[in-house]
Amino acid sequence: MVSVFAHTLRSHRTGLFAVSVGLFLMSLIIVYTFDAFGGLEAFADLFESLPAPMTAMFRAQGGFGTSLTSYIALDYRHPVYIIAGLAFVLSVSSGAAAREIERGTALMLLASPIARWRYLAAKIGALVVGAVVIVTMSWLGSLTGALLTGLSGEVEAGTLLLAQVNELGVLVASGGIAVLLSAMNSDGGRTVSIAAGILTVMYFLDFVGAIWGPAEPLAPLSLFYYFDPLAVATDGSAFLRDVAVLFGVGLVGFVAALVVFQRRDITR
């Protein structure tokens, strides 16, 4: 089981490194843009000129807050953060079962004395560890940027860490869905396509629900409805609900995947 876990991390180390370093640098640069805008007042003026769909994308219809911490948290909902993290999750998920079956390597690995559920659990473990590395690097990028710009005294590190926990929940929940699809399929490409399609529809539901009243009741069906780092920085009242839903979806998906993979026939 440990060898499968280590092998999975090694096989995805390039992608994990690229995503982690990329988001570290993006988080660092975002802090520098705060001074480039001229501080809170200048950014507030710019923010008020943005169209409603743009503010809805960041869940900032009521404003972006009154601190550097809320400014940074606002940017954690930028599509680049979401897409980069999900790209890693979908890559690992497709290889958790479906792609290994497609290549025929699953039969060889499972010929050794290892239970199917232990094999898949090792894959899930690698996915979760990778997701933790990604959000940690994003958080460290923000702190490094604040330190280099002399603004570390204005940044609440604990609050930003909670915002990254919220993002980790999105990655875990998405991974739960994708790993379950992987456990049910024998085609890695099909698994990625279906998972990406589901997540795209969810993102659309969340976005449309935020800008169009009749669609608002559908928004809670989306994982992204429960990803609101700006609210973590400015209010925080829904944080426990959001992380409970996201990690709950992930846990259900992982457990269901273990059950399905243990019982299914492995055919290419």
pLDDT at 60 over 90: no
The alpha carbon of 207 is separated from its chain's Cα centroid by a whole number of angstroms, namely 17
Distance (Å, rounded) from C-alpha 178 to C-alpha 190? 11
The pLDDT of residue 43: 73
Query: What confidence score (pLDDT) does residue 107 get?
Result: 57
Task: Give the integer Cα–Cα distance in Å for 268 and 86.
Answer: 26
DSSP state of 58: T
The token pair at 196 is 């990406």
Taking 90 as the threshold, does the pLDDT of residue 38 lie above it? Answer: no
Instruction: State mean pLDDT over 37-63.
Output: 77
Please report, rounded to a whole number, the percentage of residues in the chain having pLDDT higher than 70. 93
Per residue in 164-181, pLDDT tens?
999 999 999 999 999 999
Give dist(CA 223, CA 221) in Å, integer: 7
Please compute the mean of the pLDDT values over residues 213-233 and round it to a whole number: 95
Whether 225 shows a pLDDT value over 80: the answer reads yes
> Which range is most confident: 19-23, 44-48, 152-156?
19-23
Tell me: pLDDT of 62 over 80: no
Predicted local distance difference test score (pLDDT) of residue 255: 97
Summarize pLDDT for 110-159 with one digit per residue, the tens: 556 678 889 899 999 999 999 999 999 999 999 999 999 999 999 999 99
